[in-house]
Structure 1
Amino acid sequence: MKKTNFIVFLFLLCMAQMRAAEQRPIRISTAETDLILRVAPNGRVYQSYLGSRLLNESEFANLPLYVRSGSDDAVSTRGWEIYPCSGAEDYYEPAFGIQHNDGNMTSIFRFVSSEVKKQDDNVTETIITMKDDVYPVSVKMHYLTYAKENIIKTWTEISHSEKKPVSIFLYASNMLYFESPKYYLTEFCGDWAKEMGMTSQELKFGKKIIDTKLGSRAAMQSYPFFQLGLGDVVRENEGDVLMGTIGWTGNFRFTFEVDNMNNIRIISGINPYASNYELKPNEVFVTPEFIFTLSNQGAGKASRSFHDWARNYQVKRGKDDRLTLLNNWESTGFNFDEKKLEEIMVEAKDLGVDLFLLDDGWFGNKYPRVNDRAGLGDWEVMKSKLPNGIPNLVKAAKDAGVKFGIWVEPEMVNPKSELFDKHPDWAIRQPNRETYYYRNQLVLDLSNPEVEDYVFGVVDKLMTENPEIAFLKWDCNSPITNIYSPYLKGKQNQLYVDHVRGVMNVFKRVAEKYPDLYMMICSGGGARCDYGALKYFTELWCSDDTDPFERLYIQWGFSQFFPSKVMCAHVTSWNWKTSVKFRTDVAMMCKMGFDLGLKELKPDELTFCQQAVKNFNRLKPVILEGDFYRLVSPYESNHTAVMHVSKDKNAALLYAYDLHPRYAEKLYPVKLQGLDPEKNYKLEEINLMPGAKSTLADNGKVFSGDYLMKVGLRVFTIAEANSHVVEIKCCD
């Protein structure tokens, strides 16, 4: 009898706690956004609101509780549960799927507790713990808010204590809901040399999925970002926009599902394709981070939120300087020796950049790296090219007055390599089928801890022997093909997940051991462009396509989510018919570098580049730390314009580019943004060729910020491949 009374007491206490939780909404908020969750009488947690920050907590009780209550109340059965599992009463795409030891394939998670951890005045973490009351399975939902930056980062931890491993076949990072008359999705797509193209469509009833199945990187055809216009198309400076991305260097999936009530659910996470995961008892499965912001002033404001957050919190050395560099690839390819490299180092110093970067082709002896068909995996200096080794190159760079950087691709292997001869079982490939080689190489199996140690050791050995190396360019040219892991044997469905975890762990180990090392992430161009990897890298390579026309589209796309400090842009000989000035002006809107033979330049062109480097270094605080504004889209005009504005609004840079104007077309003034309307600014065109004078009618004049933002400047022309860079300085 006493035992029965005790059980009744516990039940009543539990119900009282759930009722109390229902009365106290869980508020997850930034300075501008509220995400409000509620615990329903059934003990399950539902999203009640996601939108602009509410002023009065006393009104939270009036918010709807979107609970699926049953057939007698069909109109209100929308069921906005924050982590629904497959097989229950929700008939739309779930966040979670599991098969228990007894074969049952559902779970229903009920509220246990919520916890708030304030990391500092700006960053707060909310943790919601839920458990299945039938099976010993639990999830913890993490929400990390950045108040000033208006960013919310979310992820989920899944665990269980069943007797044997369970199989999880869906494991989303997060699920969000909205109700709006219309939804317009902007997605990003492309391929090698045409990264980050932007397309838009209206979403109607049903599902739209954006995903990849590349394995070793996040992007190629699809990119791990999206913009969702709520009520209207995504616009730059007005309207409600959700912008989201996932921090995962592998297969991802975004699902957008509009239901029969015209509500939308957005599910983000690892792509579950071929990835049922065997979760051991008490093992914790941690999903990647989904990061989002909600703007009521268009995509421009949302982008600046991402930029500030990335610099302040996410990117390695996000608040530090960046190095300008001269790369040898476009001028030499694989054809170089010590003398040639030493000459380029002197050129780098003469140009005024900080760093010389040695690209591919410096390694391999039995299988020399003289092309892309051999040598990957054999990270020993090629004696025939570089008889005195890397230490001599580091010293030569130092003697020339620049720092030294080097290219690596340690996750890959050529079949023609000593590594493959010794460890063919370290490569991902089918044991019983003909091998397909993407770019003559295979991906090393980083689900194998031994391989992970090897890959880390490649970098560690290089840095230990050459501690003055200042920069690594880390490449990844192949997605996973021939999907099979000799290490995982009977658990092949875990390869896509465990491989990426191994990759990320190597990144983490390198970053932790070498915190001062600048590192560029690259992947056949811009195919590695996720904020998971950028925790450990200082910058990313946007594209191998450095044609300035194409770069303006590519950089426009990447700027939606990444600050200029992170986006590497090099002046090269691609589209040599355009002027060096135009190519340089395009690169200067990002983290500028050079990759061309300086001896190809005419004397006045070299002088121009030297002055441009000085201008870039002088204006780094504005370019790398300032607010970025997209003014005229290349998708909507024969011209494009952007600008940087310093945080104190005392300085700015305007970039204007004429692409392919039509004959005698109407030219419109460009209205600036981000300035202080009360301040006066003097205009001065910079990056002029030696002896040239500015053709801007307003060059040297003073205008108020109010005038520049409301009336604007006439900076476009009808000349193809023409550009202006205008420095705007407060003169009050």
Structure 2
Amino acid sequence: MMLRFLCCLLLLSRFVPAGAQAIPPPIAIETEHVSLVLTVGTNQKLYQTYLGPKLTAADRQSLPQPGPFDAYMPAPGEAYVPAGTDNLFEPAIGMVHADGNPSLALVFAEVQTSQTGDDLITTTVHLRDPAYPVDVRLHFAAYQKEDVIKTWMEITHREKKPVVLTNYASAMLRLHAPHYWLTQLHGDWASEAKEVEGELTSGLKVIDSKLGGTRAGWYQTPSFFLALDKPATETSGEVLAGTLAWTGSFRLAFEVDNLNTLRVLPGLNPFASAYTLPANQPFVTPEFIFTYSPAGKGPASRNLHRWARRYGVLDGTAPRPTLLNNWETTLTAFTESRLDSLMGDAARLGAQIFLLDDGWFGNKYPRNNDKVGLGDWQPDRAKLPHGLGHLVQTATKAGIKFGIWVEPEMVNPKSELYEKHPDWVLRLPNRPEDYSRNQLVLDLTNPKVQDFVFQVVDEQLSQGVAYVKWDCNRMMTSAYSPYLGRDQSHLYIDYVRGLYKVFDRMRSKYPHVPMMLCSGGGARADYGGLKYFTDFWASDNTDAFERVFIQWGFLNFFPSNTLASHVTNWNRQHTLKFRTDVALMGKLGYDLDVSKLSVDELTFSRQAVQNYKRLTPVLAQGDVFRLRSPYEGNQVALLYVDEAQRHAVALSYNLHTRFHEPVLPVRFQGLNPAQRYLVREINLMPGQKDTLPAHDHTYSGDYLMKVGVLLSDPDATQLTSHVLEVLAE
């Protein structure tokens, strides 16, 4: 069944009454393969009449024209339903007018369309309230080649006094099918991005975060798949994939109504956030990004990946540097000479950046643990007597660059910053301070705090720092802004807006410095933040076995070059090869003591770094095909294929197959059937022999996709992995 919502049969008998305003033609928001059609009814309301595979212009004209409805029936198909009049289900928008009227009515005013280059078509549909001076504009950006549509809403008014917004979804989509299957990501610290799938039944399902503008995605992620009629696979089923570009509290609502129609309402979470809006001041919602696939989850993911690399992530088509982090080697106990030595190790490894993590700052309260010093961003004179400039120089002499960790949105109560500016902290009056990780959140609704946070980063970058890990290790609780005063319901929204203002300033001055978006792991995995950052830290859990699942989950919605994936010693029972091969799923990095590697381990690691750099056009820019899921068995496989279909890399992980568990060939995807490919195993430890029959053999693309090859060890008794390079002859 096609993914679409056609107006019910009642519409077929409607006609335009005498004297009615002229009905404009259907409004088509389209990509190369997808159509979203909006139609103005005889009552001048806006309806969604289609969402699915692309229609011809003639077929769009044949869609049923909506009109007036029975007063006892909800209006099926209305594209952006307001609250307070005849709506019986979840509204997209709600408002209390200056005179106390808690209703909104929206009718069509005009539509504008513009084109940028050969890929982007932007459509703005202007709706207005016929009784109040309120304007709502629905914006749609259709990316032609990527088959991705981005939509958001803007509301303004000209009433004499402020109005109050009570709901403000970024979009409202309607789907119609016998059944709906929702796939979401959820988790906790160190167990992020767990996939779970379930059927939506009559009623309301909400995935949301009420954690404010810091660690909003701690438990839930603002991304999802929707499959129609039956659960989708990687290669089959109708799928809508969506993700919200917002680094704060969010709400994804899915409601199946009495007619078995599904309303999808993504956007800001209105919890504790009724927003008072003055006249002539626009309220703009976050962008909701979605794509449609008639052939399963895999194509939907690849659509998002291609869009993200080109439009959604900072410098998404540029190479990503490999780095060595000191955290697991030293924690906060290091000296200047020790760091100098570690930078030499980074150069020996072949890394391009050395990243100094937590513990480098604070003098009155030296940052020797996580209880003190946060907020005092001056180099610790005892640890770093020559400051950061010396470390930048050391890195330069070693032929690498220097990066640094910051957490500028936070403060320890035991810090000079807290002593000087207690009014800069989010905390409830007349209540005990509520700590998480011994820290509190700075009030980014305050322009002075925004200036401070910008200056923290600016000071480091101005000294030659070439990479920043921007961390954020607690959520908002007991939150009250001294700056906002009586407008506390603005806090969750205005905090994120303040954060984005800092990011805007940062990128205006330093447009291309690579930066990692971190929040105690993957709690900031969203395109609202990623447009300012090159990658994000998927989890503090770097156990390679666990990372297979975590990275698999995030790869549903984010391209591989955004997933910072490090080789560490979290679980030494895993071989270095297994840990390294798992890190190749994303952006390769290291967080281990290079000096303690054996000669063979160092040789292997140096070769792995060289392989990653050589294969970056495939691993970072290629299409990702998830061939065998860790949720379906112990043999996991992925294939990365370049755009020309001439170069591919297969990654396989044996998650400890059981005794006599069948090991079957894996069928590849995305290759050219007529092309001949040489398959060879790489990333082998010194002295290790290849164990897969496919090594050093040539196959047709047709054979690899129809028959496949073995990618796992039939007799493995531990976690094993293989990396196969596939080269067109």
TM-score (norm: length of structure 1): 0.96
Amino acid at match of 1:594: Y
Query: In 2, are the aligned partners of 1:218 and 1:224 still within 8 Å (CA)?
Result: no
Per the alignment, do residues 288 and 68 of structure 1 end up closer, same or farther by CA in structure 2, a change over 3 Å counting? farther
SS of 2:85's equivalent in the other structure is: coil
Query: In 1, are the aligned partners of 2:42 and 2:66 still within 8 Å (CA)?
Result: no
SS of 2:497's equivalent in the other structure is: helix
Q: Does 1:474 align with 2:470?
A: yes
| Offset of residue 659 of structure 1 | 0.3
SS of 2:527's equivalent in the other structure is: coil
Paired residue for 2:23?
Answer: 20
Q: Does 1:344 align with 2:342?
A: yes
Measured against aligned partners, the alpha-carbon deviations of 1:586-608 in whole angstroms (never above 9, x if no partner) come to 00121100000012221111110
Per the alignment, do residues 596 and 260 of structure 1 end up closer, same or farther by CA in structure 2, a change over 3 Å counting? same
Measured against aligned partners, the alpha-carbon deviations of 1:119-157 in whole angstroms (never above 9, x if no partner) come to 111101000111101111111110000000000000010
Tell me, in whole angstroms, the C-alpha distance in 2 between the residues paired with 1:704 and 1:459: 52
Paired residue for 1:10?
Answer: none
Tell me, in whole angstroms, the C-alpha distance in 2 between the residues paired with 1:591 and 1:489: 43
Paired residue for 2:7?
Answer: none
SS of 1:692's equivalent in the other structure is: coil
Tell me, in whole angstroms, the C-alpha distance in 2 between the residues paired with 1:278 and 1:549: 48
Paired residue for 1:9?
Answer: none
Paired residue for 1:51?
Answer: 52
2:176 to 176, 179, 190: 179
Tell me, in whole angstroms, the C-alpha distance in 2 between the residues paired with 1:156 and 1:367: 46
Measured against aligned partners, the alpha-carbon deviations of 1:458-477 in whole angstroms (never above 9, x if no partner) come to 1112222x1x2211000000
Paired residue for 1:70?
Answer: 70
Q: Where in structure 2 are the equivalents of 1:14-163 lying within 5 Å?
A: 18-21=21-24, 24-54=25-55, 56-65=56-65, 69-71=69-71, 74=73, 77-163=74-160
SS of 1:420's equivalent in the other structure is: helix
Paired residue for 1:650?
Answer: 646
Measured against aligned partners, the alpha-carbon deviations of 1:371-406 in whole angstroms (never above 9, x if no partner) come to 001111100000000000000000001111111110
SS of 2:666's equivalent in the other structure is: coil
Paired residue for 1:485?
Answer: 481
2:418 to 408, 417, 420: 420
Amino acid at match of 1:132: D
Paired residue for 1:697?
Answer: 693
Paired residue for 1:6?
Answer: none
SS of 1:207's equivalent in the other structure is: strand
Amino acid at match of 1:57: A
Paired residue for 2:404?
Answer: 406
Paired residue for 1:595?
Answer: 591
Q: Where in structure 2 are the equivalents of 1:546-625 lying within 5 Å?
A: 546-625=542-621
Q: Does 1:283 align with 2:281?
A: yes
| Offset of residue 80 of structure 1 | 1.6
Measured against aligned partners, the alpha-carbon deviations of 1:635-693 in whole angstroms (never above 9, x if no partner) come to 00011000100110111000111002111111111001111000000111000010111
| Offset of residue 714 of structure 1 | 1.0
Question: How many residues were matched structurally?
Answer: 710
| Offset of residue 18 of structure 1 | 4.3
Tell me, in whole angstroms, the C-alpha distance in 2 between the residues paired with 1:699 and 1:79: 58
Q: Does 1:536 align with 2:528?
A: no
Tell me, in whole angstroms, the C-alpha distance in 2 between the residues paired with 1:152 and 1:277: 27
SS of 2:503's equivalent in the other structure is: helix
Tell me, in whole angstroms, the C-alpha distance in 2 between the residues paired with 1:228 and 1:18: 37
Amino acid at match of 1:100: H
Tell me, in whole angstroms, the C-alpha distance in 1 between the residues paired with 2:147 and 2:206: 26
| Offset of residue 456 of structure 1 | 0.8
Tell me, in whole angstroms, the C-alpha distance in 1 between the residues paired with 2:512 and 2:401: 13
Paired residue for 1:311?
Answer: 309
Q: Where in structure 2 are the equivalents of 1:511-530 lying within 5 Å?
A: 511-530=507-526
Measured against aligned partners, the alpha-carbon deviations of 1:222-281 in whole angstroms (never above 9, x if no partner) come to 111011001111311111000001110000000000001100000010000000000001
Q: Where in structure 2 are the equivalents of 1:151-300 lying within 5 Å?
A: 151-215=148-212, 216-300=214-298
Per the alignment, do residues 17 and 318 of structure 1 end up closer, same or farther by CA in structure 2, a change over 3 Å counting? farther
Paired residue for 1:3?
Answer: none
Query: In 2, are the aligned partners of 1:67 and 1:81 still within 8 Å (CA)?
Result: no
1:674 to 664, 670, 676: 670
Tell me, in whole angstroms, the C-alpha distance in 2 between the residues paired with 1:33 and 1:521: 32
Paired residue for 1:301?
Answer: 299
Paired residue for 1:439?
Answer: 437
SS of 2:361's equivalent in the other structure is: coil
| Offset of residue 218 of structure 1 | 3.0
TM-score (norm: length of structure 2): 0.96
Moved more, 175-184 or 212-221: 212-221
Tell me, in whole angstroms, the C-alpha distance in 2 between the residues paired with 1:462 and 1:359: 13
Tell me, in whole angstroms, the C-alpha distance in 2 between the residues paired with 1:480 and 1:20: 48
Segments of structure 1 that go 5 or more residues without pairing to the other structure are 1-13
Query: In 2, are the aligned partners of 1:158 and 1:285 still within 8 Å (CA)?
Result: yes
Tell me, in whole angstroms, the C-alpha distance in 1 between the residues paired with 2:666 and 2:681: 15
2:375 to 374, 377, 381: 377
Amino acid at match of 1:632: R
Per the alignment, do residues 450 and 728 of structure 1 end up closer, same or farther by CA in structure 2, a change over 3 Å counting? same
Q: Where in structure 2 are the equivalents of 1:501-520 lying within 5 Å?
A: 501-520=497-516
SS of 2:561's equivalent in the other structure is: helix
| Offset of residue 555 of structure 1 | 0.6
Per the alignment, do residues 15 and 644 of structure 1 end up closer, same or farther by CA in structure 2, a change over 3 Å counting? farther
Per the alignment, do residues 57 and 613 of structure 1 end up closer, same or farther by CA in structure 2, a change over 3 Å counting? same
Query: In 2, are the aligned partners of 1:68 and 1:79 still within 8 Å (CA)?
Result: no
> Percent of aligned pairs with the same residue?
50
SS of 2:703's equivalent in the other structure is: helix
Query: In 1, are the aligned partners of 2:20 and 2:42 still within 8 Å (CA)?
Result: no
| Offset of residue 78 of structure 1 | 4.1
Tell me, in whole angstroms, the C-alpha distance in 2 between the residues paired with 1:79 and 1:171: 20
Runs of 4+ in 1 over 4 A off after TM superposition: 14-18, 65-68
Paired residue for 2:3?
Answer: none
| Offset of residue 68 of structure 1 | 6.0
Amino acid at match of 1:156: M
SS of 2:431's equivalent in the other structure is: coil
| Offset of residue 79 of structure 1 | 2.5
Measured against aligned partners, the alpha-carbon deviations of 1:425-474 in whole angstroms (never above 9, x if no partner) come to 1010011111110110011011111111111111112222x1x2211000
Query: In 2, are the aligned partners of 1:99 and 1:166 still within 8 Å (CA)?
Result: yes
Query: In 1, are the aligned partners of 2:216 and 2:475 still within 8 Å (CA)?
Result: no
| Offset of residue 420 of structure 1 | 0.4
Tell me, in whole angstroms, the C-alpha distance in 2 between the residues paired with 1:300 and 1:40: 36
Tell me, in whole angstroms, the C-alpha distance in 2 between the residues paired with 1:446 and 1:121: 39
| Offset of residue 583 of structure 1 | 0.2
SS of 2:151's equivalent in the other structure is: strand
| Offset of residue 574 of structure 1 | 1.1
SS of 1:666's equivalent in the other structure is: coil
Query: In 1, are the aligned partners of 2:105 and 2:130 still within 8 Å (CA)?
Result: yes
1:333 to 331, 334, 340: 331
Paired residue for 1:631?
Answer: 627
CA RMSD, aligned part only? 1.3
SS of 2:172's equivalent in the other structure is: strand
Paired residue for 1:8?
Answer: none
Query: In 2, are the aligned partners of 1:46 and 1:67 still within 8 Å (CA)?
Result: no
| Offset of residue 82 of structure 1 | 1.6
Query: In 2, are the aligned partners of 1:79 and 1:90 still within 8 Å (CA)?
Result: no
